[in-house]
Amino acid sequence: METSIAWLEIFLNASFWVASVRIATPLIFGTLGEVICERAGVLNLGIEGIMTIGAMAGWMAVYQGAGLWSGLFFAAACGGIFGLLHAMLTVPLGLSQHVTGIGITLLATSLTSYVYRLILPEVNSPPRIQAFEPLEIPGLSSIPLIGEALFNQSPLTYFAFISVVVVSYVLYRTPFGLAIQMVGENPAAAEAQGVDVTVIRTVAVVCGSAFMAVGGAFLTMSAFNAFFFNMINGRGWICIALVVFASWRPGKALLGAFLFAAFDAYQMRLQQLVGTEIPYQIFLMMPYVLSILALIVMSRRVGYPQALMIPYRKGER
Amino acid sequence: MNVVKRSEIDISEKKPASEVVLRLRGITKVFGSLVANNDISLELKSGEVLALLGENGAGKTTLMNILFGHYIADSGSIEVFGRPIQQGSPHAAIELGIGMVHQHFTLADNLSVLDNVMLGTEPLWWFSSNRRAGRLKLEQLGERFGLRVKPNARVAELSIGERQRVEILKALYRNAQILILDEPTAVLTPQETDTFFETLKKLVSGGLSLIFISHKMQEVLAISDRVAVLNEGRLVSELKTADASETELAQSMIGRSIELPERKTLKAGKPILKLKSITVMPEDGRSALSSVSLDICAREIVGIAGVSGNGQSTIADLITGLVEPRSGTLELHGEVVNNFSPRNMLQKKVGRIPEDRHSQGLIGDMTLAENSISECYQDPQFSSYGWQNKLNCQSFAENIVSKFDVRGYSPNSPVRLLSGGNMQKLILGRVLSGNPQLILANQPGRGLDVGAAAYVHEQLLAARENGAAILLISEDLEELLQIADRIAVIHRGRLSESYPRESISISQLGLLMTGQQKKSITNNHAIEADAS
């Protein structure tokens, strides 16, 4: 009887909501980035590697003496460079987007380890940095439960929320956003209306990849304060699924990321509650099982960008 | 608001009638070994409708794609309003006032009409988009030229005719002065075509100059001021429409005379296919059928007319085993079919000429030989113990290629290189080599030139003489009246009774297609029958 109430009480605990928002942050960035790429018709499976690059680059820059925000910018730039590589191979050259993306992930993760060892050859435990401090928003943060969860977070979390709004605006309200949608739906139409498909797709992939890298950087610069190998731990792949869940919409991406994060935060607390009666792996599995179920429900009627994964070659018969 | 005003001035500004707005000089374009355009020189005068007539593959579309900047000519130059155009850039062409309505619409289905129209009209790197002004301008243009569409509707929800309107509006929105229309009527019903011609007249009186690409002679004669005829990449004649006659144009377009296939009067045999009050639910984007009944006998061609999307593709899917009826029965050779699968239907000797050659008929990247056996590859002569018999497959394909006159490529080349007509011949060969007892021909003449279409009809009539039952689904009423014995009309999933070909006219069929009640028409019948 006691436990049956306890599993509900988790929801009343502010720390659960705080954790959910924190776990959601890198997923929001990653999913937004992937939404931008896929809306332009380019699948970016390099996301896992690009997030790793971002995590390492941001942290290393700060460790080497850069400021936090310039470190973040450096991370985004590094992500953008790998995005550019992905775009070069898949857009003008029209290579398979799957294979290129997986290649980028392998290259980026290995290169990260290599550079890490190159710069810090004799370190056993990774050095910590002075990371982003939670920023209390006066007034709002004193609202019970919500205030603590939403208004006492890392500046990067606020940045994630702002990014959702900005990306939505750009995608739906600006000529550039319309061009992105059009090259993802019907590149031949975009071409016929004087839009350069190659340029739009490349810019979209670079911007999207920069967002992914910022998502990775959140982990080292706000959550863990240090870089570990394998710290991305499949978050990139979760973002790929969240994009489908979100039907390629930034707003829904926010919702999806938060739902997944809440499952994750909940299972951690449930584990402690239940103890050792049930193997903990079952709980670890839970968010993934639930996201698969959510995907099945949600993706019955999704409208894929029609030209997703189809290379566009000008003037081909 | 500023934008709107300027456009009005641009469009209403009339040019003196004789002014040359577009001049092509010596355009030549070669694809591999194919000379698509051979030294073509043309002029377009202000306010005129120039028809570009030619068979499929004559080079009409290539020429226009060069003009619009999709391709770069190997030699030759283009002048628009006296200024040379930079080739290979649609953007430059648009800037100079050229608009193009492509044969295959270039619209994004998931976006709204307004999105589709506005793309590329505003500076790309601007922070906002003035959608209100855009919507206003679109609505004004729509009103002016009688091209009304809902700006917020998703393109996927629009009919084909409406999509075409959006394509034209797209060009007008960009202040096009010269509008290229590539086979615009290929997808329209007779009634839609009439409205479309009205629109063209309004465009011309609004000061535009039009290039109208077509292979339909009657339309060219009806709408154009001047005709230029292309044949195998060359400009073979150029004359005023008033001086042109249909036979003369046909001769120069084809380079030889075409005989319409001869149609023998045959007595229908025993019933091959019986549909008894079949109902299919609308699912997976298919339109529904409600209580459809139809008999087709041996040595008989039964036509189904209708505006696309009224259920004819569902009938086709039913007969090829892609969809199962909710209720009702389908009998083949007197046996009720319970197992609706494509393979079962093929085994029951049902041949299939699909509506869309590219997506349902052939696999573009596979060879002619592979495609020719793709419906019968399990046959012992092509595979045994899991191994393919390449030699048999090769000779089978060679047989089809020579017997059905598939031109241009060897059995080992990929199918996507073939022209539409040759693809259709390959499919026809594949179907007829199986000696089918029932042939489903879904839009077999669509997009084919006169010669190729006549060939397809000839072959279908020959199959009929050999005892096959043929179901011919078509939106081309002339095609139906030419070769079908009986014609039924489908509207909103309901199939009318079938009328013998002698007793129904194009206009009656057209009315039935729009869902006018049958009563008045059957009355006409009675009168006609009385009279005779």
Q: Are residues B92 and B184 in the same domain?
A: yes
Handedness of CA B4, B10, B11, B14 (dihedral sign): positive
Bigger pLDDT: B468 vs B418: B468
- Suggest the residue from A193, A201, A247, A308 to mutate for an interface test with chain B (most B CBs closer than 10 A): A193
Contact (Cβ atoms closer than 8 angstroms) between residue A243 and residue A31: yes
Lookup: tokens for A305 = 């960008």
The answer to whether residue B262 sits within a structural domain is no
Compute CA distances B327 → B163, B323, B344, whole Å: 35, 12, 19
Q: What is the mean pLDDT of residues A174-200?
A: 91
CATH code (residue B523): 3.40.50.300
Taking an 8 Å cut-off on Cβ atoms, the answer to whether A175 and B100 are in contact is: no
From B407, B434, B461, the end of a domain falls on B434
Bigger pLDDT: A16 vs B190: A16
Question: In terms of CA atoms, which chain B residue is nearest residue A39?
Answer: B110
Q: Are residues B93 and B4 in the same domain?
A: yes
- Suggest the residue from B101, B111, B283 to mutate for an interface test with chain A (most A CBs closer than 10 A): B111
What phi and psi values does residue A277 have, to the nearest 5 degrees?
Answer: -60, -40
Distance CA B513, CA B494 (A): 11
- The percent of chain B in helix, strand and coil, each rounded to the nearest 5, is 40, 25, 40
Q: Are residues B468 and B486 in the same domain?
A: yes
- Whether B487 has a pLDDT exceeding 90, the answer reads yes
The answer to whether residue B263 sits within a structural domain is no
Distance from CA of B127 to the nearest CA of A (A): 6
**Chain segment A14-73, per-residue pLDDT in tens:** 889 999 999 999 999 999 999 999 999 999 999 999 999 999 999 999 999 999 999 999
Q: Which of A205, A217, A196 is nearest to A88 (CA)?
A: A205
Element of type H or E holding A75: helix A68-90
Q: What is the pLDDT of residue B15?
A: 44
**Chain segment A232-256, per-residue pLDDT in tens:** 999 999 999 999 889 899 999 999 9
The answer to whether residue B325 sits within a structural domain is yes
Bigger pLDDT: B307 vs B42: B42
Distance CA B51, CA B238 (A): 10
Say which of B90, B106, B110 has its CB closest to residue A303: B110
- How would residue B105 be classed by pLDDT, with cut points 50, 70 and 90? confident
- How would residue B524 be classed by pLDDT, with cut points 50, 70 and 90? very low
Q: What is the pLDDT of residue A221?
A: 94
Average confidence score pLDDT of chain A: 90
Q: What is the pLDDT of residue B388?
A: 86
Domains in chain B, number: 4
Q: What is the mean pLDDT of residues B439-464?
A: 87
Distance from CA of B131 to the nearest CA of A (A): 8
**Highest-scoring range by mean pLDDT, B63-72, B184-193, B258-267:** B63-72
Only one residue has tokens 């729509």, namely B142
Q: What is the pLDDT of residue B16?
A: 47
Which residues of chain A have a CB within 8 Å of the CB of B89? Answer: 194
Q: Which of B67, B137, B54 is nearest to B96 (CA)?
A: B67
Share of chain A above pLDDT 90, in %: 64
Distance from CA of B122 to the nearest CA of A (A): 6
The answer to whether residue B354 sits within a structural domain is no
Q: Are residues B248 and B182 in the same domain?
A: yes
Least confident of B192-201, B253-262, B323-332: B253-262
From B147, B174, B201, the end of a domain falls on B174
ipTM metric? 0.84
Q: What is the pLDDT of residue B10?
A: 44
CB atoms closer than 10 angstroms to residue B113: 26
Distance from CA of B116 to the nearest CA of A (A): 8
Distance from CA of B92 to the nearest CA of A (A): 8
Q: Are residues B137 and B208 in the same domain?
A: no
- Whether B2 has a pLDDT exceeding 50, the answer reads no
Contact A185/B at CB under 8 A: yes
Instruction: Give me the total of CB pairs closer than 8 Å, taking one residue from chain A and one from chain B.
Output: 87
- How would residue B130 be classed by pLDDT, with cut points 50, 70 and 90? confident
Handedness of CA B512, B515, B519, B524 (dihedral sign): negative
Contact B532/A at CB under 8 A: no
Q: Are residues B320 and B385 in the same domain?
A: no
Taking an 8 Å cut-off on Cβ atoms, the answer to whether A188 and B108 are in contact is: no
Q: What is the pLDDT of residue B11?
A: 42
Distance CA A99, CA A1 (A): 53
Contact (Cβ atoms closer than 8 angstroms) between residue B314 and residue B288: yes
Distance CA B515, CA B518 (A): 8
Contact (Cβ atoms closer than 8 angstroms) between residue B63 and residue B70: no
Taking an 8 Å cut-off on Cβ atoms, the answer to whether B106 and A192 are in contact is: yes
Distance CA A98, CA A102 (A): 6
Q: What is the pLDDT of residue B257?
A: 63
Bigger pLDDT: B5 vs B67: B67
From B225, B257, B289, the end of a domain falls on B257
Contact A188/B at CB under 8 A: yes
Distance CA B183, CA B61 (A): 9
Q: What is the pLDDT of residue B301?
A: 94
Domain ranges of chain A: 15-136+149-232
Q: Are residues B343 and B440 in the same domain?
A: yes
Q: What is the mean pLDDT of residues B153-172?
A: 88
Q: What is the mean pLDDT of residues B469-477?
A: 90
Interaxial angle between packed helices A68-90 and A197-218, expressed in degrees from 0 to 180 and rounded to the nearest 10 = 140
Expressed as residue numbers, the domain containing B388 is: 359-434
Element of type H or E holding B209: strand B209-214
Q: What is the mean pLDDT of residues A71-77?
A: 97
Distance CA B458, CA B108 (A): 38
Q: Are residues B70 and B139 in the same domain?
A: no
Distance CA B425, CA A156 (A): 63
Q: What is the pLDDT of residue B441?
A: 94
Which residues of chain B have a CB within 8 Å of the CB of A194? Answer: 89-91, 94-95, 120
- Whether B383 has a pLDDT exceeding 80, the answer reads yes
**Highest-scoring range by mean pLDDT, A31-35, A258-262, B212-216, B518-522:** A31-35
**Chain segment B217-271, per-residue pLDDT in tens:** 788 888 999 999 988 888 988 989 988 887 788 778 777 666 667 788 888 889 9
Q: What is the pLDDT of residue A220?
A: 95
What Rg, from alpha-carbon coordinates, does chain A have? 20
The answer to whether residue B387 sits within a structural domain is yes
Q: Which of residues 27-46 of B touch A (CB under 8 A)?
A: 31
Which residues of chain B have a CB within 8 Å of the CB of A204? Answer: none
Q: What is the pLDDT of residue B517?
A: 60
Average confidence score pLDDT of chain B: 85
- How would residue A103 be classed by pLDDT, with cut points 50, 70 and 90? very high
Distance CA B231, CA B355 (A): 27
Q: Are residues B182 and B211 in the same domain?
A: yes
Residues 6+ apart with CB under 8 A from A120: A126, A127
Distance from CA of A41 to the nearest CA of B (A): 13
* End-to-end Cα, chain B, rounded Å: 64
Q: What is the mean pLDDT of residues B272-289?
A: 86
Question: In terms of CA atoms, which chain B residue is nearest residue A169?
Answer: B128
Contact B111/A at CB under 8 A: yes
Q: Are residues B288 and B409 in the same domain?
A: no
- How would residue A280 be classed by pLDDT, with cut points 50, 70 and 90? confident
- Whether B69 has a pLDDT exceeding 50, the answer reads yes
Element of type H or E holding B191: helix B190-205
- How would residue B375 be classed by pLDDT, with cut points 50, 70 and 90? confident
Q: What is the pLDDT of residue A80?
A: 97
Q: What is the mean pLDDT of residues A176-180?
A: 94
Which residues of chain B have a CB within 8 Å of the CB of A181? Answer: 108, 110-111, 115
Q: Are residues B343 and B446 in the same domain?
A: yes
Taking an 8 Å cut-off on Cβ atoms, the answer to whether B91 and A194 are in contact is: yes
Q: What is the DSSP letter of B255?
A: S
Which residues of chain A have a CB within 8 Å of the CB of B116? Answer: 182, 189
Q: Quick one: CA torsion of B191, B196, B198, B204, rounded to 10 degrees?
A: -170
Taking an 8 Å cut-off on Cβ atoms, the answer to whether B118 and A192 are in contact is: no
Taking an 8 Å cut-off on Cβ atoms, the answer to whether A194 and B90 are in contact is: yes
Q: What is the pLDDT of residue B12?
A: 40
Q: Are residues B467 and B509 in the same domain?
A: yes
**Chain segment B334-349, per-residue pLDDT in tens:** 899 999 999 999 888 9
Q: What is the pLDDT of residue B428?
A: 92
Distance CA A290, CA A140 (A): 32
Which residues of chain A have a CB within 8 Å of the CB of B176? Answer: none
